[in-house]
Amino acid sequence: MKQVHERLKEIRTSLNLSIREFSKQIYISHSLYGELELGHRKTTDRIIQLISSRFNVSKDWIKTGDGEMFTSPPPDIKLERIIEIYNTLDGMLKDCLLEQSDILLKIYKDKTKK
């Protein structure tokens, strides 16, 4: 059976996040999180709570591996970041971002058709 530190890595990799990105989302340093993931430090209840609430992960699954990893669909961190960026822009820059997104989508669609 996997240990807690192995389940932490499984959560992070299933979300496709780097240690730096993951730790930022739960407000701890990347070096501390790296030590947790390697099993060099004990995972506290506070950190389990932060991971559970931020990423919709079952606290029981983190602690024991029982049940499902996610209690509901995990958040899309990259989409949240795009929304955050969009919301900081003024009207003209928002329009520019949308136009660039449309161009990227067209390029992607053209590329996948071939």
Tokens of 99: 């136009």
Burial class (CB in 10 A: 0-12, 13-18, 19+), 112: exposed
Domain ranges of the chain: 4-64, 77-113
Tell me yes or no: is domain 4-64 CATH 3.30.470.20: no
Q: Give alpha helix (H) positions in 15-90.
A: 19-25, 30-38, 45-55, 59-64, 77-88
DSSP state of 45: H
Q: What is the pLDDT of residue 75?
A: 85
Q: Which of 43, 38, 79, 76 is nearest to 62 (CA)?
A: 43
Residues of the chain with pLDDT under 50: none
Distance CA 102, CA 36 (A): 41
